[in-house]
Amino acid sequence: MAFKVVVRQWQAPLLVEAGATILEAALAEGRPYPHGCRAGNCGSCKSHLFAGEVQMAPYSEFALTPEEAKAGLILACRSVPWSDCELAYIEEDEVAAHPHRVLACRVAQLDRLTHDTMRVRLRIEAGGPFDFSAGQYAEVTFPGQPVRDYSMANRPGEDMLEFHIRAVEQGAVSHFVEAGLALGNAVRLEGPYGFCYYRARHRGPIVALAGGSGLAPIKSILEEALASGARQPIHLYLGVREERDIYLEAHFESLEVRHPNLGFTPVLSEPAAETGRRTGYLEDALLKDFDDLDGAKAYLAGPPVMVESCVEVLKKLGVRAEDCHADPFYTEAEKARLIGEK
């Protein structure tokens, strides 16, 4: 049994099998539905429900506030239709539409970026070409490991796919990457996913905020922007705990030399020793450096707490909510906690 779901942006209705979410059905058919986490945490799939009934699985209030739910908004990634429905997703300026791919890859390069972060480069062996928008992510399955989401750090169209994988506490997969992954290993990859991607049509300033290995999608976005000739001011901030967590500094410094519109600022929240670097949290740095960011677009990737507090400050500085593109990294434990709290 399937329900007919009319999405106002599309000509043909979508058939959603009983028990499936609207987003699952849309992505399975390769239709471009805005989304990010696919787990009720980011709010990217927010939609107006005009007619019909859905049942919503648990989600975080960051993604959909009680007021929004009362006003008839739903999250497509958590909504299982209970009848035929009519809805519309919240319109975005540019929707990324790429074919959904399942790729067979092989580890072609493996090196250490910091004491706890590895860089993995994969060569695609079958299933390509893999088109994606800078800033998107993929589901990655390393040998014998459960699937995890990781953002591509390379620009679309480059030969190899690059991922930055930080060992998280109790993170079985990230520890496997550090200790067990080897050159030549086969890796399955599925995607692309995500809504925090580069909007090329925007001409205002860009503020890019990365927490730790959140630098991966931000790197992809900025490299794409610079390579496609973006001339507006681009302010990149990397928030890490201490000196040893900073990575790719020489890379971004060399980009700064070639592109005077780019500024790169590492910020240390808990420096282990006296330092000449900026200290504090990213939101403090924003408040100190800017009076007004009206017309700017912000891209954020990193831990949810960082993303949420920076978005709040960006809005105070005049960035419109729809210009804040966030990709919070929820660990498996955080996802379980958020859903449990609902």
- The answer to whether 71 and 49 are in contact (CB under 8 A) is no
Select the span of 41-49, 228-236, 269-277, 317-325 touching ligand FES (CB under 6 A).
41-49
Residue 44 binding ligand FES, by CB under 6 A: yes
Select the span of 2-10, 43-51, 94-102, 124-132 touching ligand FES (CB under 6 A).
43-51
Nearer to ligand FES, 27 or 246 (CB): 27
Question: What percent helix, strand, coil does the chain show, rounded to 5?
Answer: 25, 30, 45
Q: Are strands 160-166 and 117-126 parallel, antiparallel or unpaired?
A: antiparallel
Residue 41 binding ligand FES, by CB under 6 A: yes
Least separation in angstroms between CB 92 and ligand FES: 13
- 3 state SS of 72: coil
DSSP string, 204-215: S-EEEEEEGGGH
Interface pick for ligand FES out of 5, 7, 16, 45 (rule CB under 6 A) = 45
Cα 48–chain centre separation = 23
Residue 192 binding ligand FES, by CB under 6 A: no
Residue 324 binding ligand FES, by CB under 6 A: no
* Cis-peptide into 32, omega within 30 deg: no
Residue 40 binding ligand FES, by CB under 6 A: yes
Pairwise CA distance, residues 59 & 337, whole Å: 11
Burial class for 331, CB neighbours closer than 10 Å (0-12, 13-18, 19+): middle
Residue 136 binding ligand FES, by CB under 6 A: no
Interface pick for ligand FES out of 27, 43, 49, 223 (rule CB under 6 A) = 43
Can you give the C-alpha Rg of the chain in angstroms? 20
Select the span of 38-46, 79-87, 141-149, 320-328 touching ligand FES (CB under 6 A).
38-46
Pairwise CA distance, residues 48 & 256, whole Å: 42
Pairwise CA distance, residues 146 & 139, whole Å: 10
Residue 63 binding ligand FES, by CB under 6 A: yes
Residue 248 binding ligand FES, by CB under 6 A: no
**Residues 149-178, interacting with ligand FES (CB under 6 A):** none
Least separation in angstroms between CB 190 and ligand FES: 16
Interface pick for ligand FES out of 7, 22, 42, 234 (rule CB under 6 A) = 42
Which positions touch ligand FES (CB under 6 A)?
Answer: 35-38, 40-45, 63, 75, 77
